[in-house]
């Protein structure tokens, strides 16, 4: 479920998809886009930097809705839902590119 207008992010970041990103040539030749796993890696990195979470995490309700292409600028926002529970949203301009829920290993 995407974040709502009343959500208060605990972490924000922005990055650009580098035209020479190592995953682009194979994903997909002639029509490159950033693989979802590479986007999730950025989300996990932001959560680790902001919350100190380095333990394994669980994912739920993850949806990839729009591709990220070379040169795209993507914003990531993470909000806390409760102890060890988070929601993330990634946007390219006004489009939601991906969203989902993350659970830390210690929240269970």
pLDDT in tens, 17-30: 999 999 998 888 88
Q: Which of 85, 96, 108, 104 is CA-nearest to residue 39?
A: 96
Mean pLDDT of the chain: 90
Beta bridge partners of 96: 91
* pTM, full prediction: 0.88
CB hemisphere CA count around 31 (13 angstroms): 1
Q: What is the pLDDT of residues 49-87, one digit of tens each?
A: 998 877 667 999 999 999 999 999 999 999 999 988 999
Question: What six digits make up the tokens of 75?
Answer: 């914003």
Whether 10 has a pLDDT exceeding 80, the answer reads yes
């Amino acid at each position: 479920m995407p974040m709502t207008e009343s959500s208060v992010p605990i972490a924000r970041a922005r990055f650009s998809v580098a035209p020479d990103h190592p995953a682009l040539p194979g994903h997909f030749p002639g029509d490159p886009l950033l693989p979802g796993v590479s986007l999730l890696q950025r989300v996990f990195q932001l959560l680790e930097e902001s919350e100190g979470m380095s333990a394994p995490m669980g994912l739920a309700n993850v949806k990839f809705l729009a591709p990220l292409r070379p040169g795209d600028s993507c914003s990531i926002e993470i909000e806390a839902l409760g102890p060890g529970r988070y929601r993330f949203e990634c946007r390219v301009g006004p489009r939601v590119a991906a969203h989902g829920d993350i659970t830390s290993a210690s929240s269970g």
